[in-house]
Chains A and B, each alone.
Chain A
Amino acid sequence: MTFLFHEAFCLGLALLLGFSPQHPHESVTTRPVTDILICRNAHISFYSPAPIEDIRAETDQAVSALNSATGSLYFKVMIRSFTFRRSLMQEHFNEDFMESDQYPYAEFKGNVLQMPDLSKDGNYTVQVQGTLTIHGLSKNYTVPATLSVKNKQVSGHAVFNVKLADHHIQIPRLLMKDIAEQVQVTVDAVYQVDNSSSAGTGA
């Protein structure tokens, strides 16, 4: 009988901690109603030096969300949205390397480790850890990133390398000379407070 009481007590406590609409610490800070920051036009570019012609592509159609309380971070980009200077290269990129009909998106799900307090202006160097899924293959990454706050506007910036082999991106032998084995990826996002999502999504 006492055991059951314990069970009920624990469950009640857990529910209280986990599902209460307002955390105790939230009530004392000047945080907005939601902790979710969102960016619908994140800029992603990649660059790969090559003997014949450097390969560059970019998109500003990536989306991202950052939970400023928990440090949860999410990125998603449609592969077809990357634009190249040579549209023929863009066709090869989609058709042969990325097989974007089959794997239309690249996705990152992770966390900002030791999340700084974003209520104060400043530049914060952080580590971001998570899973990057490209070409249907997921791999764990830990990369340095910068979070900047200026006039309460939060932006993120990161540069890291992706090895093509890690994501089973195979370059046809006839084109092998043209393409490096890893590409440098640059990510930039300027976040807005997400007003569309309900307060319930804040953890």
Chain B
Amino acid sequence: MKGLYVTVVAGLLLFPHTGQAQQDLSRLFADSTASHLPVMATFKGTTLVNLQTTKTLHAHDLLFIVGHRFGDFAGSNGGGKTFFGMDAISDVLIGFEYGFSDRFTAGIGRDKGAPNGVSEFQTQLFYLTGKYRLLDQTGDGHIPVSLDLFARGIFSAAQRQPIPQSNIDFQHFGDRWSGSLQLLLARKFSESFSAELIPTYLYRALTAPQDPHQMFALGAGFRLKINKRMAIIADYVQPFRSTASQDYYKQQFNQHFYPPIGIGWEVETGGHVFHIEFTNATSILENQFIPNTTTSWTKGQFRWGFNLTRTFTLAKGAAAEWKQ
């Protein structure tokens, strides 16, 4: 009886001890906790509606992008007779982007160009883009934001038109250039909400009178996830055009400038990102939609738009070869 008692008590005391040894094994790696990991998927697409996002492609990924802007949904140019703008294409973009590294993406493309307002005649646009990731937001808050530098250079191949006071009366080869430089500052606030702020500098070599060659603008946008595949996206750009310039266009041509506002629905499936969106901007490239949006939401001058992208993985990394 005493022997049994000893065994039971000894057993009871020993068992927690083996349990403790078990825990010790996991404690051996207590120091191996990773830190400063970059947050994933702040944005899924490389653009919101009109603005760029901080998303850069993974190394050796190739992105094919098609952008569309249709005609006015409502107002005097929209409605049933144009099937709510679907019959009238205002801008079309086809482009490719390639991830040279996880941090650097470069792109090339062709855009129709969308004349809007009185000073915007340039069409047949070719562009080159570069997007470089400067900072990655980390999950532990060590770096609170992501920061990219984005640049786009645009060349108009349109035939010179001797229209006085227009931006298509090219005198020199250099007159055909325009471009934009943007800082993309983004933060993923939660699993479902990301936002960004985009200080922008625009340069246009040839402009109409009173239309500035240089312009600053401030953009903002957000992405709100609805579920694992879908999100609401929206953006807004405030261009800083001088009052003198605004007044000149108002008096001479009865033209008003409006900030481009876009709202869209994003669906992501594997390598595809689909955007169905509405915006008052008629054109897709920054040098046109930021300074020269003269169409207003309140007048029904907003339109359907699509941004469709497909990612192709060209990497043939060592990971493909390892044994099953």
Contact = CB atoms under 8 A, between A and B. Distances in A.
A10 B7 CA distance: 8
B315 A87 contact: yes
B21 A70 contact: yes
B2 A6 contact: yes
Nearest to A49: B324
A25 B6 CA distance: 21
A36 B10 contact: no
Interface in A151-203: 172, 174-175, 178, 194, 196-197, 201-203
A13 B9 CA distance: 9
Contact of B29 (A9, A76, A85): A76
Interface residues of A, number: 53
B34 A201 contact: no
Interface in A60-111: 63, 65, 67, 70, 72-74, 76, 78, 80-81, 83-88, 91-92, 94-96, 101, 104, 107, 109
B116 interface: no
A84 B317 CA distance: 9
B25 A88 contact: no
Contacts of B41: 91, 95
Contacts of A96: 228
Nearest to B6: A10
| Main secondary structure on A side of the interface with B | mixed
B139 interface: yes
Interface string B53-95: 0000011010000000000000000000000000000000000
B10 A10 contact: yes
- What band does the interface of chain B fall in when counting residues whose beta carbon is under 8 Å from A? 35 or more
Contact of B21 (A101, A175, A201): A201
A70 B14 CA distance: 13
A45 interface: yes
Contacts of A9: 6
A53 B273 CA distance: 19
Interface string B1-45: 010011001101110011001101110110010100101110000
B229 A174 contact: yes
A31 to B, nearest CB: 15
A13 B228 contact: no
B26 A109 contact: yes
Contacts of B37: 80
Interface string B283-324: 000000000000000000000000000010101010110101
Given A72-B18, A101-B40, A107-B26, 9 more contacts: A19-B17, A40-B32, A58-B319, A65-B28, A72-B22, A73-B25, A86-B313, A87-B315, A201-B28
9 contacts: A18-B13, A18-B14, A65-B26, A70-B21, A78-B34, A80-B37, A96-B228, A101-B191, A172-B229
